[in-house]
Amino acid sequence: TYAESRLFPDVVVPGTLIVPIVEKTLESEAGAPLRLLDVRFRAPTYPDEEIVVRALEDGDGAWRFEVSGGGKVRAFGKAAVATDV
């Protein structure tokens, strides 16, 4: 497979499938829609791998988050919620 040709042990879950999970988690925690989402991917995520999104409020509508799985940080970033909703 293409993933194997790039020395990955399995196919990689695209970031476009992880971002909506992060968005839904943050909106649920914040209780408001997001107006900014900045995601940095650090390590690949593989199919059937459980991921956990941890969100922490920084105040004034600002949040930061981390996506982990298999004992590794897979992605991290920051978000801002719409405070005028």
**What is the rounded distance in angstroms from the CA atom of residue 16 to the CA atom of residue 39?**
11
| Residue 54 or 82, more confident | 54
- Write the burial class of residue 55 (CB in 10 Å: 0-12 exposed, 13-18 middle, 19+ buried): middle
Band (pLDDT 50/70/90 cuts) for residue 85 is: low
pTM as predicted: 0.87
Looking at the DSSP bridge assignments, the partners of residue 65 are 55, 77
Domains of the chain: 13-81 (3.10.129.10)
Q: What is the mean pLDDT of the chain?
A: 93
If one counts every other C-beta atom within 10 angstroms of the C-beta of residue 65, the result is 20
**What is the rounded distance in angstroms from the CA atom of residue 70 to the CA atom of residue 64?**
20
**What is the rounded distance in angstroms from the CA atom of residue 64 to the CA atom of residue 60?**
12
Percent of the chain with pLDDT over 90: 79
How high is the pLDDT of residue 56?
96
pLDDT digits (tens, 9 = 90+) for 22-31: 999 999 999 9
CA angle 29, 83, 68 (to 5 degrees): 30
